[in-house]
């Protein structure tokens, strides 16, 4: 792999991203962390703090999903979190003190990280992916637990996770159609960008992805909001995006007007309408898309690996697991305490699905950890009382959730002290030793992750592009054309290409063929817009 591929995404490490949500995800993380820890302080059971913390971290997932889908996603995350903690607890209880304890703990951390990362990528779980599950297994595998502690610790994790789920779902009462508004506003902004840059296949595809996301979001609305005026406004706005993306559309709509409509949608205003023609037609409500379809595709990929684009997930999972295991083992051999931190660092870096994007992730991981270690060391050196530590944990988690979307390094500067404070409650090591272990383990794990990604075979990434391209060709020539399937195939093709760009030389990528196939496919899709408006989305 050429070094130019490694540095291709390096500028992303320093980019500050805008857009949310920020306030409510940070607030729910704060509450999810604070309340269980205060209860443990009140009943004098701070020995269960690790379980409470990992259960509370259920709240950091699915921050942008519609609430109807978020409830199910977070329920699965909560169960998976309890299982990850339980695996670590069992290792701590039955292998603690044995010569094979550390190898088993590192192996479990690597396996959980690999499986959780691949599964999260398959269903588009989003940040922080498999990271927290690996962290939970690794940390809990090193706790000083006895047989009598096993039940209470797992139960505390389950209670804390259930509380985090309840707090998160309470956002549906407060924010209502907030996730849908953000998705539709993003679709309007992407449409405006395309109108300003027409003709441009890149902006056309970004708009298509944003519109598809908006459709899925407005479909996932509960009975309290479905078919309300606000909901129908969002449906009409998404329909307007599709109409405006048609190259044959004769209606003159300025990009500035579309951006103004997006701003209004974000602020909770109604959709003002952008075109005179067809605005009196009733909105066509989309049918909800089930995630079971995605899960079914993943299972088919596992059973028929030579016939499915999703088979790249297997080598991706192997990459994550191998990097984590090597990082943890090397850290242990070098005498770095908390060797599982190196394994978790490797898992974190490889949440980026290509080698080039993992480089920027490595830079962010290292920079955030350096600043976070300094903050954590200052806090630990002050020897705060337990109740102060609990307040600090909740405030730092709030800070992490407020900043992590803007830049991962900034978010990690808040999250690193959380790990150090939790470790301080469960470990006799001094502040300097904890901080040193965290710093060197992170540096080692991040470097090994990029090295493993660079040297392991990456043919599956390119094969994914060719499979996706063949699927687009197949659906483009089908009679009749199946718009939904073709649109999803196009999204898969461009996603596969974007990831493969960070893995292989440009000369190996079928760029011209992709551009030609995408252009022809979008022409076919644009011809269907009038049919959709007349008879509903297929």
Instruction: Report the distance separating Cα 472 and Cα 89, nearest Å.
Output: 47
Return the number of other C-beta atoms located less than 10 Å from residue 374's C-beta.
15
405 Cβ contact list (under 8 Å, min separation 6): 17, 19, 20, 22, 127, 411
| Closest residue by Cα to residue 262 from 206, 185, 203 | 185
- Coil, strand, or helix at residue 348? helix
Residue 532's Cβ-side half-sphere holds a number of Cα atoms within 13 Å equal to: 25
pTM over 0.75: yes
Predicted confidence at residue 346, as pLDDT, reads: 94
> DSSP code of 288?
P
Which alpha helices (H) appear in 355-458, and where do they start and end?
Answer: 355-381, 386-403, 408-426, 431-455
| Closest residue by Cα to residue 161 from 132, 130, 190 | 132
- Tokens 């394994």 — which residue? 343
**Residue 431: is its pLDDT beyond 90?**
no
| Domain boundaries, given as residue ranges, for the chain | 3-174+295-455, 178-220+227-266, 459-535
Predicted confidence at residue 279, as pLDDT, reads: 47
pLDDT (tens digit, 9 = 90+) per residue, 447-499? Answer: 999 999 888 888 888 888 888 898 888 888 887 778 778 888 888 888 888 88
Predicted confidence at residue 295, as pLDDT, reads: 54
Predicted confidence at residue 202, as pLDDT, reads: 81
**Residue 138: is its pLDDT beyond 60?**
yes
The angle formed by the CA atoms of residues 25, 20 and 227, to the nearest 5 degrees, is 85
> Distance from CA of residue 250 to its chain's centroid?
39
Main-chain phi, psi angles of 280, to 5 degrees: -85, -10
pLDDT (tens digit, 9 = 90+) per residue, 84-128? Answer: 999 999 999 998 888 899 999 999 999 999 999 988 888 888 888
Q: Please state which of the ranges 22-36, 273-287, 338-352 shows the lowest mean pLDDT.
A: 273-287
Instruction: Report the distance separating Cα 291 and Cα 66, nearest Å.
Output: 13
| Closest residue by Cα to residue 157 from 76, 93, 82 | 82
């Amino acid at each position: 792999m050429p070094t130019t591929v490694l540095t291709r995404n390096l500028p992303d490490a320093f980019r500050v991203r805008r857009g949310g949500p920020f306030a409510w995800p940070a607030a729910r993380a704060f509450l999810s962390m604070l309340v269980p820890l205060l209860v443990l302080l009140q009943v004098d059971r701070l020995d269960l703090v690790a379980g409470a913390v990992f259960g509370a971290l259920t709240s950091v997932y699915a921050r942008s999903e519609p609430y109807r889908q978020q409830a199910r996603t977070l329920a699965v995350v909560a169960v998976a979190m309890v299982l990850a903690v339980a695996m670590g607890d069992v290792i701590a209880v039955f292998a603690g003190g044995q010569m094979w304890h550390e190898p088993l703990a590192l192996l479990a951390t690597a396996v959980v990280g690999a499986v959780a990362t691949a599964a999260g990528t398959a269903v588009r779980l989003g940040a922080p992916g498999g990271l927290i599950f690996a962290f939970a297994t690794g940390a809990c595998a090193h706790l000083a637990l006895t047989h009598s502690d096993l039940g209470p610790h797992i139960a505390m994790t389950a209670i804390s996770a259930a509380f985090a789920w309840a707090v998160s779902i309470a956002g549906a009462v407060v924010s209502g159609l907030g996730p849908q508004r953000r998705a539709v506003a993003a679709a309007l902004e992407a449409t405006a960008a395309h109108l300003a840059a027409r003709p441009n296949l890149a902006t056309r595809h970004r708009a298509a992805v944003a519109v598809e996301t908006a459709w899925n979001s407005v479909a996932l609305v509960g009975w309290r909001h479905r078919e309300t005026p606000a909901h129908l406004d969002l449906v009409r706005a998404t329909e307007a995006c599709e109409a405006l993306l048609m190259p044959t559309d004769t209606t003159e709509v300025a990009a500035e007007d579309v951006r103004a409509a997006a701003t209004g949608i974000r602020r909770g205003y109604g959709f003002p309408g952008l075109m005179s023609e067809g605005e009196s037609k009733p909105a066509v409500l989309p049918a909800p898309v089930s995630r079971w379809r995605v899960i079914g595709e993943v299972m088919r990929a596992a059973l028929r690996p030579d016939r499915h684009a999703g088979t790249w997930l297997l080598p991706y999972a192997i990459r994550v697991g191998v990097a984590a295991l090597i990082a943890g083992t090397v850290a242990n051999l070098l005498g770095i305490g908390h060797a599982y931190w190196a394994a978790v660092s490797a898992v974190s870096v490889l949440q980026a699905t290509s080698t080039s994007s993992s480089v920027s992730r490595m830079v962010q991981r290292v920079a955030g950890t350096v600043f976070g270690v300094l903050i954590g060391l200052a806090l630990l050196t002050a020897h705060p009382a337990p109740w102060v530590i609990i307040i600090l944990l909740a405030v730092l988690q709030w800070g992490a959730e407020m900043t992590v979307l803007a830049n991962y390094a900034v978010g990690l500067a808040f999250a690193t002290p959380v790990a150090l404070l939790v470790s301080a409650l469960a470990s006799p090591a001094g502040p300097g030793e904890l901080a040193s272990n965290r710093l060197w383990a992170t540096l080692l794990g991040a470097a090994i992750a990029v090295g493993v990604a660079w040297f392991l075979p990456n043919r599956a990434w390119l094969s994914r592009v060719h499979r996706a391209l063949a699927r687009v060709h197949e659906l483009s020539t089908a009679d009749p054309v199946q718009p939904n399937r073709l649109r999803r195939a196009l999204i898969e093709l461009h996603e596969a290409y974007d990831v493969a760009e960070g893995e292989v030389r440009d000369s190996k990528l079928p760029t011209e063929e992709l551009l030609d196939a995408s252009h022809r496919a979008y022409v076919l899709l644009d011809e269907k817009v009038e049919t959709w408006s007349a008879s509903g989305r297929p």
